[in-house]
Structure 1
Amino acid sequence: MNAIAMQVDTEAMRQWFEHMHRHPELSMQETNTAEFIAQTLRSIGGYEIDTGIGKNGIVASLSVGDSDKAIGLRADFDALPIQEVNDFPYKSTTEGVSHLCGHDGHTAMLLGAAKYLAETRNFNGTVRLIFQPGEETMEGGPAMIADGLFARFPVDAVFGMHNIPGLEEGKFYFHPGEMMSAVDNWEVEIAGKGGHGGIPELTIDPVVAGSSIVMAIQSIVSRNVAPANRAVVTIGAFLAGNAGNVVAGNAILRFSIRSTTPEDREMILGNIRRIVAHQAQSFGCTSEIREGVPGAVLVNDAEETDRAAKIAQAAFGNDQVIYPGPSFLASEDFAFMLQKKRGSYCFLGAGPGKMVHHPEYFFNQNILPLGAAYWAALTEGYLR
C-alpha cells in the first residue's frame, strides 16, 4: 500500500460506505444520498459546495495556490432495482433496492480523497469533485452537463473510475480509446387478448408472440455483426401474467442493447424494430417500443490515459498498473462527459467475487484506501 493510501481516513470511508449501502436510492431519486454527501463535505470543510446540479448532482471545488489549471474527479451514487441477498450487518434496508454495483464505494473513495486533499493541500490549482446521480439509467451525466456542469465548473480534464470484480485486487487498469460500449435500454409491450388457459381459441397469446421475438432477436448479432466487432442484445426481463391457467393480455420485454460502432448500433436497432413489429403481427398481436435514454461509447483520450497511468505507476508501482488493460461491453454515462472534456476512465480490480449487478455482489472494502489514494495522487500529479 502506497504512502497516500496509508494516510487517508479508511475508517471514515468504511462508515460512509456502510451508511450509503444501508440506504440505497434509485437513479434520479437519490435525494437523501445527495444530502448525506453534501453534509459530509461540509463536515470536511474547505470546499465550495454546489448542489442540485442535474437534479441531485453535487460539485465540490477546492482551490490551492495560484494556478488556473483544474481537474475533475467523478463518482456515481445511485443504486439498482435489485433485491440484495447478502447478509451483511450493513445490508440494504430498502426492499428491492440495493447498491449492487459499488457506487456507494465509489462515492466513499472520493469523499476519502476529499478529506485528504483538504488536509494536505499538496497541489497548485483547482480540484472539482463531481458526485453524479443517475448513472444506471444514463440520465445523470447528461443532466449535469445540460445544467452547465463544465460551463459553471470548468476543468482541463475529467476522470472516472469503477471497481471490477474478477480483476486482480488493488490493481489499476487503463485502456486508451474505446473502453466501454454504447447502450440502449428499451421496453417492448406486446398486446394480445387475454382469457382462459383452457379456451385458447378465444385468446391471442402475447407470451407466445414474445417468446418468438426473444428467439428471433438472437440472430441479429450472430448473423449481422462482423466477428471483429463487438455487440450484444440482452433481454433481461419478460413480464406477463400471474397465473398458469390464464392467458395474459399483454407482455413486457426489457432490452439492453450494446454496441461499439455507430453503424452496428443503427443496424441492430433497426433489426429489433423490424423483428418486433413483424413477429407480433404474425401472431395477431400489436407492439409498442419505448426507447430509453441512449448511452454512448466511452472513448478515453490517449494522452490523458497515458498521463493517468504514469501517475498511478509512480504512486503504486509498475506491477500494480495494467496498461493497456481490458475493455468491456458494459456501459457508462461518463462517456458523455468525455465527449465534452478530455479525460480517462479506469478500472480498479476488486478481486474474486460476483460481478456487479448480481444479487450476491459485494463491494470489497479493502480497495477503499487505494481508490482514494489514486484520486489524491492524480490530483497532486496533474496539479503540480
Structure 2
Amino acid sequence: MDNSTLKKLSNFRKTLHQYPELSGEEKETAKRILEFFKDVPVDRTLTELGGEGIAFVFEGKEAGLTSLYRCELDALPIREQNQIPHLSKVSGKSHVCGHDGHMAIISGLGLKLAEKRPNKGKVVLLFQPAEETGEGAKAVIEGPKFEEIKPDFAFALHNLPHYDTHQVLIKKGAFATASAGMIIRLKGRNSHSAHPEAGNSPALAMSKIIVALEKLPEAMKKFSLVTVIHAKLGEIAFGTTPGEATVMATLRAFEDETRDLLIKYAEKLCQQIGKEYSLEVSFGYTEIFSATHNDSEAWNYGNEAAKRLGLKIKHVRVPFRWSEDFGLFSHHSKTLLFGLGSGKKQPQLHEPNFDFPDELIPTGVDIFWEIIEQLHH
C-alpha cells in the first residue's frame, strides 16, 4: 500500500473515531462509509441491512464462489480517556474496540478491488451494525436482502492487544465463546423496615444466588464461566424493606450447547433458592452470542494468506473467552475469524485509552486480498 492510500485510510479512520455511534444508532457512520465509496466503482450497493448495515458487491466476469469480508460499524458506551488529536467528540461514546480500524481495513480492501476486480465469483464487503450487543449479525442474516449476498465463505478479523503487532492468531474450530446475558428477577413483599418480619425480603436469596452462580461452572464437564455483572436490591427508602431484587450475569462456554446447558442449570439453581425463600423467580436474556467456529477450509485460506505474506503466525490452542456475533455466519457459510496482533503494550480492548494502530491497516488489507486471490483469481 502506498503512503497516500494509507494516509487516506488513516484520516478516514480518525474521522470515524471522532464520531462514534452505539449499536443500532449508526446512521451517520453509514453515511460516512457511503461517502467514502461514492467514487469506488462497485457493481451493487445494498443498504439498510439489519438496520444501518451496508454491503458493496464486486462481481467477476466468470461464475464462481461468493466470499464476504465483514467489519463492524458500532462503538461503545465508554468515555474515552486519551491524549490524541482525534479524540471522540461524542461524550460517553468511543471506538475503544477498534471497529474504526476494522472499517478502514475493509474500505482499503474496496479500493484494492476497484483496481483489480475478481475474475470469477463475487466479493462482498459488509459493514455490519450492532456487533457489540450481539444483535447485528442476526438482523442482517434474518433480513430479506441477505439472500442476495449470502456467501460460500465469510471472513473477519479482530485486532488483539498484548500480541506482537501484525501477528496473525488463527485456530480451527471454536475460536471465541458463546455467551448470554442472564437477568434474574426475584419478587418478595415489601414491609415497613421497623417490622421486617411482616415482609419477605429477597436480600438473602440474592446473596446466595450471586455466590452460587459463579461457582456453578465447577460442576460442568466442559469449560464455562459465569460472571455476575450487576445486582440491585429494592429501592433507596430507609423506612421500607426491599420487595424485589435483580441479578445480572454473563454466562460463557466454548460451544452453544454447553452455554445452553449452563443456562438450564443456572435457572434450576435460582428456582431452588427462590423456592427456599418463598420468592417468585423469573428470567430474561439479552446479548446472546453464538460460538465463533472456524471452518477448516476457510482456515486453510487464511493460514495460506498469512504464510504468503511472511507474517508471524500463532496457532491458538484454547479459544478466546470473549464473544463475537460473527459466529452466527458459521450457521450459513464456511467462516474464519482470526486475530491480528495490535501490540504488546497496547491497552486492552474496551479500556478507555485504547486507540487502533493505523499501521495495521495495510496488513489487514493484504491478508484479505491474499484470500481473495486464492478464491477469485
TM-score, normalised relative to structure 2: 0.89
Root mean square deviation, CA, Å: 2.7
Matches within 5 A, 1:258-297: 258-292=252-286, 294-297=288-291
Number of residue pairs matched? 375
What does residue 349 of structure 1 align with? 341
Q: Check the 8 A contact 2:22/2:76 in 1, yes or no.
A: yes
Contact kept? 1:236, 1:255, Cα under 8 Å: yes
Residue 224 (structure 2) aligns with: 231
Which residue of the other structure, out of 15, 19, 23, is the alignment partner of 1:23? 19
Q: Secondary structure at the match of 1:289?
A: strand
Q: Does 27-36 or 279-288 show the bigger shift?
A: 279-288
Q: What is the Cα deviation at residue 8 of structure 1? A: 7.6
Rate the CA distance shift 1:358–1:192 in 2: closer, same or farther, 3 A.
Answer: farther
Q: Spell out the pairing of 1:169-248 with structure 2 (5 A cutoff).
A: 169-193=165-189, 200-201=196-197, 204-222=200-218, 224-226=219-221, 229-240=222-233, 243=236, 245=238, 248=242
Tell me which moved more, 159-168 or 229-238: 229-238
The more displaced of 121-130 and 209-218 is: 121-130
Q: 1:368 to 1:298 in 2, by over 3 A?
A: same
Counting only pairs closer than 5 Å after superposition, residues 78-97 of structure 1 correspond to structure 2 as 78-97=74-93
Rounded Cα–Cα distance in structure 1 between residues aligned with 2:207 and 2:224 = 22
Give the match for residue 363 of structure 1: 356
Q: Provide, for residues 14-39 of structure 1, a one-character-per-residue CA deviation record: whole Å limited to 9, x for no partner.
A: 22222222222222222222222122
The alpha-carbon deviation at position 314 of structure 1 amounts to: 0.5
Partner of 1:69: 65
**CA–CA distance in structure 1, aligned partners of residues 355 and 106 of structure 2:** 19
Matched, 1:313 2:294: no
Distance (Å, rounded) in 2 between the aligned partners of 1:364 and 1:210: 43
Distance 1:202 1:14, change over 3 A: farther
Deviation at residue 338 of structure 1 after TM alignment: 1.5
Q: Say if 1:239 and 1:95 are closer, same or farther in 2 by CA, change over 3 A.
A: farther
Q: CA deviation at 1:153?
A: 1.6
For residues 127-151 of structure 1, the C-alpha deviation after alignment (integer angstroms, 9 at most, x for no partner) is 1101111112221111111114552
1:329 is displaced (CA, Å) by 1.9
Asked if 1:374 is matched to 2:374, the reply is no
1:13 lines up with 2:13 in the alignment: no
State the distance in 2 between where 1:263 and 1:178 align: 12
- Label 1:258 to 1:283 Cα distance change in 2 as closer, same or farther (>3 A): same
CA 1:255 to 1:324, structure 2 compared with 1: closer, same or farther past 3 Å? closer
Cα pair distance change 1:105/1:241, threshold 3 Å = farther
On the 8 A contact 1:173/1:326 being kept in 2, the answer is: no
Note if 1:164 corresponds to 2:160.
yes
SS where residue 89 of structure 1 aligns? coil
Q: Distance in 1 between matches of 2:298 and 2:4?
A: 25
Distance between the aligned counterparts of 1:358 and 1:207, measured in 2? 33
2:323 is aligned with what amino acid? S
Identity, in percent, stands at 25
Contact 2:167 2:341 in 1 (8 A): yes
Match of 1:80, as an amino acid?
L
Q: Is the 8 A contact 1:6 1:369 kept in 2?
A: no
| 2:294 is the counterpart of 1:300 | yes
Q: Which residue of 1 aligns with 2:98?
A: 102
1:147–1:6 Cα change, 3 Å: same
Distance across 1 between alignment mates of 2:353 and 2:158? 18
Deviations 1:143-166 (A, max 9, x none): 111114552124331111111111
Provide closer, same or farther for how the CA distance between residues 251 and 9 of structure 1 changes in structure 2, counting only shifts above 3 A.
farther
Measured at CA, do residues 168 and 325 of structure 1 come closer, stay the same or move farther in structure 2, by a change above 3 Å? farther
Q: Is the 8 A contact 1:75 1:132 kept in 2?
A: yes
SS in 1 for 2:171: coil
Judging changes above 3 Å, is the alpha-carbon distance between structure 1 residues 242 and 358 closer, same or farther for their aligned structure 2 residues?
Answer: farther
Shift of 1:321: 2.3
Q: Partner residue of 1:253?
A: 247
SS at match of 1:161: strand
Tell me the alpha carbon deviations over residues 109-144 of structure 1, each in whole angstroms, 9 at most, x when there is no partner.
Answer: 111211122134475442110111111222111111
TM superposition score normalised by structure 1: 0.87
1:172 offset after TM fit, Å?
1.0
For 2:16 and 2:245, how far apart are their aligned partners in 1? Answer: 35
Change (3 A) 1:185 1:102: same
Q: Which runs of 5+ in 2 are unaligned?
A: none
**Structure 1 spans left out of the alignment, 5+ residues:** none
**CA distance, structure 1, for counterparts of residue 11 and residue 192 of structure 2:** 54
Tell me what 1:55 maps to: 51
**Distance change (3 Å), C-alpha of 1:218 and 1:117:** same
Query: Is it true that 1:128 corresponds to 2:124 in the alignment?
Result: yes
Alpha-carbon distance between aligned partners in 2 of 1:326 and 1:86, rounded to the nearest angstrom: 32
